[in-house]
Structure formats: C-alpha cells, structure tokens
Amino acid sequence: MPSLGKSTPAEKAEDGYGRVRGLRAVARRKSAVAPRNQLSELQKSQAGRREGRGWKCLEHRPFSLMSVATARQAPLTLVRAYSVSAGARLRTPRPCILANWPRWLNARHVTTTAPPSQEAVPLRKHLKDEAKRKKNAAKANNAGATKKQPVDPRLEQWELTVGIEIHAELNTAQKLFSPATTEASGTAPNSRVALFDAATPGAQPQFQVATLLPALRAAIALGCEVQHKSGWDRKHYFHWDQPNGYQITQYYHAFAKHGSVSLTAADGVPAEELQGAEAVRVGIKQIQMEQDTAKTTNIGSSTYHVDLNRAGLPLIEIITLPQIHSPQTAAAVVRKIAGVLRSVDACVTGMEFGGLRADVNVSVRQRGTEGNGANYSGVSGLGQRTEIKNLSSFKAVEDAIIAERDRQISVLEAGGVIEGETRGWTLGASETTRLRGKEGEVDYRYMPDPDLPPLIIASGLVDHLRLSMPELPDETVQRVQTQYALSAKDAKTISDLDDGDRLDFMEETVLLVKAALDNKTIDEQKIGKLVGNWMLHELGGLLTTTETSWDSMSITPQELADIIANVQRKHVTARVGKQLLATLHDQDPNRPRPTVEQMIEDGNLRLRPLTEEGYEQLAQAIMDENPEMVNAVKVKGQKGKAMWFVGQMVRRGDEGTVEPEKAKEVVERLLAT
C-alpha cells in the first residue's frame, strides 16, 4: 500500500513540531475511503452489513500522495452539509481519521442531507418591515397620545453601565490560520475548508500574515497602541460549531490596547450623558485577533446544520471599557466604530449583512453606591453584569439594553439577586431570555497556544500604515462642514449615508455645477451648500417617498448638476427643477432618456418671467381676494404670512413665469404701502 514515507528535514522544519503521525495514519488507511467500485468483495460485504445496521456509507475523495507540508495546507472537500442533533451529548472530541468518518458522523446523529433551499430575506428588509409593523401598531394603540414616551422614574435611583464587545470580520482573502479562501458568495456549504479548519489530526495552524494588515488599520484608526509583541491563547469549550474544541484568540496578550472613540450629540449621545460637554469619550481596553466559529442553522426542533466555511475566518474583537451609561450611547458607539472600520477598509460588511456583531455587558446599581463591588476591566464598584450575545443591528443593541436594564431593576427592587449569565435577544421582543450561565476564565481554561509563535510587529510597518491611512469619518465630517458650509448635522448625515456613496455623489455634482456655471470666482461654499440641500431635501425626500434605495436610484450626478445649474441661471424655476428631478427618477434607467436640456425644451418649461406690471397685477389680485390675510400682515404684524402670497403667485402664474424671489420683493412692497 502506498504511504507518505518519511518527511524531509525541510518539511519537519516547516511543520515546527514534526507531528505527522496523524497524516501518516490517514494515508495508511487510504483504502478504507476509496470509491465503492474499487473495494474488494470482502470490503463490499462488510460495508453492506454496516448499512444494514443503519450505517450510511459516505463516498470520500481519496487522498493523493503528497508531502506533509502540502497535505497540511491542501483544502479538504467535506460532505456537502451535515447536521447535529441538539440532543447529542457533547464530549471531548477524540482523534479520528477520514476512514472512520461514517461511523463518527452516525454516532453523533449526523446526516449528509443538504439543508432545504430557503428564500433568503435580507436582514435590512426584515428590520425595515419589523419597524413598520411596530410603528403601525403603536399608532393604533396610542391614538391621540403624545409621541414622547414618559421617562421611567426608576432611572433617577438606578444607574446603568454598559461595556461592549464588537466582533468584526476582517477584509482578507484567506482565513486566519489556513490558506482556505474567505470568499463565501455562491459557494456550497463546507466547500471552503482546509485541514486545520476541520480539526483534521496532524494539521497545525499557520498564521496568514496578510490578515494582520486590516487589523492594524483598525487599531490605528481607533487610536490604539499597537504592541510590538503579542501572543495567541486557546479558549477551550466544546460545541459543534468549534471543531478543534478550542478557539485561538489573544485574551492575555492582545496586539492593540488603550484606544478610544469620541462621540457628540450629532452621533446620537443624549444630553444627560454629555452633561454639558461637547463630547463623551469611551475607552477601548484592547483589540484582539481571533477565529470565527462555524455557522449553524436550526432545522426543526432538534437538528442543526453546520457549515465550516465560516470556521476560521479572521475576526477582530474590540472590547470597550464599561463607561457607557445609556442605551442610545451604546448604539452610537457601535455605529461609530462600524463607520471607522468601513472607512479604513478593515471590515468586510456592516451589521446588516452579518460582517459585524455586538455583545453587550449590562449592569445596574443604585446611584451613589458601589453596587455589589464588581470590577470589570479595571472599573470597580459596579453591579453584577449579564451578557447579551450576537446583536445584529444598532436598534437591537439599544432595545436589548433597555429590556435588560428594566429587568435587572425589577429583580433588585423585588429583593432578588442578579445572576451572572448569558442572555439572548430576539428582534421585536420585550425582554431578554436566559441562554446559559456565564463562564469565567477558569471555565475556558485559557492557555498559550503551543503551535503558534509570538506575533512580532515591526514599528516601521505601523508607521507606514499610519502615514497611508485614509480620511476618517470625523475628519470627513469636519471637512464637509468647512468646505461646503453645511451644518454639523447635515455634514454628518450626508457623510454617513450609504457608506459614503452620497458624499461621493455630492462632491462630483459640485464640480459639475461649478463647471456648468463657468464662473471661476463663484463661491464653492455657496455651491456646496446648494447641492447639499438638493441632495438631502429634494433627492433624499424623493427616495424616501418612493421607498427607493440608493443603490437602485437612477439619477446621475450630471443630471442633478444640470437641473441645479438651470435653476441658478434662472432658466427654470425651482419648482420646475423639482419636477424634472421627479420625472427623471420615475424613468426606466435601462432605456434611453432625454437630457435635462431636452426635457426643458420639449416641455416648454423655460422661464418666461412676467413684467414688473404683471407681477404687481397678479399680487394685487390675490390681495384683493384675501383681505383677512392682508389685515393679518398690516394690522396684526404677522410678517411671516407675507410668504403665503408668494406661494399663491407661484401657483396661479403660468408654468415657468413667476420667480419666488421677485414675487417676494413685489409682495413686500405692496404690503408696505
């Protein structure tokens, strides 16, 4: 029978420990996993007896002859999907070889049935539909009630404290400790798995250096101190989504420490937490790299499908200090960190697509007391905390904290005791649910990973990345606010929406408007403010009214620039400009469409201003028909109602004949006489 033979000295050196016994055992048992048509008669009869007793004989691709170094890195093609019974007893995994996989799978109630195809519903749509449902229900149940919800009077006696752990998937091409690809779109379950990802005996982790770069960008952007030397630890626990029986992380020696994020009222921090300050600072204890677990999908009441494609994906865990004291601020922290990660291209996707998840640690204590004396991350005098796992939206972070805060207050006021436990949260629920008792360091049995050397990061690499960092979100908001004369709120809104795509659209439109007006002395701030208002109010309102996403919006920067330029040159009125925008939005983007100039000419929309006498006659006619409005302005001094006459003139005048500015001038002159 062919075998791998002896390893060369180079292979042993690359292996680091020379542990090839498991792989040799796989090769020696190669015949046991050969295709059925290559089995001997005796083997066929034995296989038949096994199937008769309920065993399922799986067909595996036989191992080809390869060196130890090659075998350790070769992708492993597993069964398409397998499922684990929820009632299966979880034990310490024993070494197994591929020849025994049918027996190993069957003993753990595992089947090779592929999961039924289900129509995937995007999380963003699910959240939107749920928000609509809750909003409509609130309107039906609270007809006539005030919009502002009453503040819970108990909060005057109780103080909330929150710490957050954010898990973000790094934007890399390979997994953290194997060369398997991270590409997941359109791939079958268990098709992106290397030997180490599947915990194959003898396979050892190999740190993929490229995964460090996005992690470093994230650490620098969050103001952390990058450690010259860090290490890897094993976090032991047994679950079907963790093939090795442990997770490799950086619990004791993280690669980045002592960062912070700064938040203002524009970020969503309530005034009571700001306490008169311009910003509140939330410290970051550390950022550590770690593996992701496999993906489990619940099928029925007692079966889970396990997909190892996600096992071993590179994550960073960002751990904040427990310095957050309101649910709104907690959601703002997650939103702020997500924006920073996106701006430096460190994270694959946002929360809406599963690339970022948050766990929150919640505790309460009576104000002015030391709680039960608990100490978390160096902050003492806190109450007993509970952890809420796997929150997948900013709204879920806020709602889950509110529900858990209220639950803990109710328990303590009733004389009960808060237990340290892990709890879950379901979208639309009114309270958290207990999942399991909270594990501690002793339960996880942390230990240094013996298969991985320390991680040494050169200062030159950190300096290079620091100099090449892109513009961060706060810097972008400040620049937009200064360059285009937008308010802080408008600058942040347009910078944050759609991952910055709207800001790119706006800046391109500003350049096109400036070129169309052909005036080198024109104030860029004036154009920027004008375009910003059209983007936020006219175009933004149009998208909201028609429930159109930004990605499916068909209007181009050139079309918006042409509309704004024609309004500025007084070729059309602002009202006509808005109509042109709506018409372009309704047209099919896949079919040829006329330019803005063609639409103006074909629709005879070009401004034909009235004469001075025409303006006065139209204004006087409206005033004669509405003496009570004239009396309100002249006698009662209600100057604001003068604009009512301007609106009437624009409506009554022929299309494209009345300019609001000129109409306002005439109305004010007539009312002053």
Question: What are phi and psi for residue 171, nearest 5 degrees?
Answer: -85, 85
Confidence of residue 671 (pLDDT cuts 50, 70, 90): confident
Confidence of residue 269 (pLDDT cuts 50, 70, 90): very high
Q: Quick check: 670 pLDDT over 60?
A: yes
Give the range with max mean pLDDT: 141-155, 165-179, 506-520. Answer: 165-179
CA atoms within 13 A on the CB side of 486: 29
Confidence of residue 519 (pLDDT cuts 50, 70, 90): low
Q: How far apart are CA 391 and CA 333, in angstroms?
A: 14
Bridge partners of 286, per DSSP, are 257, 319
Q: How far apart are CA 478 and CA 472, in angstroms?
A: 10
Q: How far apart are CA 133 and CA 131, in angstroms?
A: 5
Q: Quick check: 144 pLDDT over 80?
A: no
Confidence of residue 139 (pLDDT cuts 50, 70, 90): low
pLDDT at 636: 81
pLDDT at 92: 37
pLDDT at 102: 39
Q: Quick check: 119 pLDDT over 70?
A: no
Confidence of residue 635 (pLDDT cuts 50, 70, 90): confident
Q: How far apart are CA 317 and CA 249, in angstroms?
A: 9
Stretch among 61-75, 404-418, 559-573 having the lowest mean pLDDT: 61-75
Contact assessment for residue 461 and residue 210, using Cβ atoms and an 8 Å cutoff? no
Which pLDDT tens digit goes with each residue over 562-600?
A: 999 999 888 888 888 999 999 999 888 788 889 999 999
Which pLDDT tens digit goes with each residue over 206-255?
A: 999 999 999 999 999 999 999 999 999 999 988 888 899 999 999 999 99
CA 41 centroid distance within chain: 56
Q: How far apart are CA 609 and CA 625, in angstroms?
A: 23
Give the range with max mean pLDDT: 317-326, 520-529, 621-630. Answer: 317-326
CA atoms within 13 A on the CB side of 85: 10
Q: What's the distance, Cα to Cα, between the start and end of the chain in Å?
A: 112
Burial 223-259 (b: 16+ CB within 10 A, else e): bbebbeebbbbbbbeeebbbbbebbbbbbebbbbbeb
Stretch among 81-85, 126-130, 168-172 having the lowest mean pLDDT: 81-85
Confidence of residue 387 (pLDDT cuts 50, 70, 90): very high
pLDDT at 69: 38
Q: How far apart are CA 144 and CA 5, in angstroms?
A: 83
Q: How far apart are CA 373 and CA 582, in angstroms?
A: 61
Contact assessment for residue 234 and residue 447, using Cβ atoms and an 8 Å cutoff? yes
| Type and span of the H or E element at 362 | strand 356-366
| Type and span of the H or E element at 130 | helix 123-141
Q: How far apart are CA 423 and CA 32, in angstroms?
A: 45
CA atoms within 13 A on the CB side of 262: 9
pLDDT at 43: 45
Confidence of residue 137 (pLDDT cuts 50, 70, 90): low
pLDDT at 49: 40
Q: Quick check: 22 pLDDT over 50?
A: no
User: Residues of the chain with pLDDT > 90: what percent?
Assistant: 45
Contact assessment for residue 234 and residue 446, using Cβ atoms and an 8 Å cutoff? yes
Q: How far apart are CA 333 and CA 345, in angstroms?
A: 18
Stretch among 112-116, 256-260, 443-447, 562-566 having the lowest mean pLDDT: 112-116
- Which residues, 6+ apart, have CB-to-CB distance to 200 below 8 Å? 22, 26, 76, 98
Residue with the bigger pLDDT between 487 and 116: it is: 487
- Which residues, 6+ apart, have CB-to-CB distance to 440 below 8 Å? none
The CA-based dihedral angle spanning residues 631, 635, 636, 641, taken in that order and rounded to the nearest 10 degrees: 50
Bridge partners of 181, per DSSP, are 174
**Closest Cα partner for 493 from 268, 337, 327, 223?**
268
Domain boundaries, the chain: 154-456, 471-603, 612-672
pLDDT at 5: 41
Confidence of residue 426 (pLDDT cuts 50, 70, 90): confident
Q: How far apart are CA 284 and CA 265, in angstroms?
A: 20
Which pLDDT tens digit goes with each residue over 445-498?
A: 999 999 999 999 999 999 999 999 999 999 999 999 999 999 888 998 999 888
User: Residues of the chain with pLDDT > 70: what percent?
Assistant: 76
Q: How far apart are CA 527 and CA 570, in angstroms?
A: 15
pLDDT at 637: 81
Q: How far apart are CA 650 and CA 577, in angstroms?
A: 14
Question: What are phi and psi for residue 86, nearest 5 degrees?
Answer: -65, -25
Average pLDDT, the chain: 79
Q: Quick check: 51 pLDDT over 50?
A: no
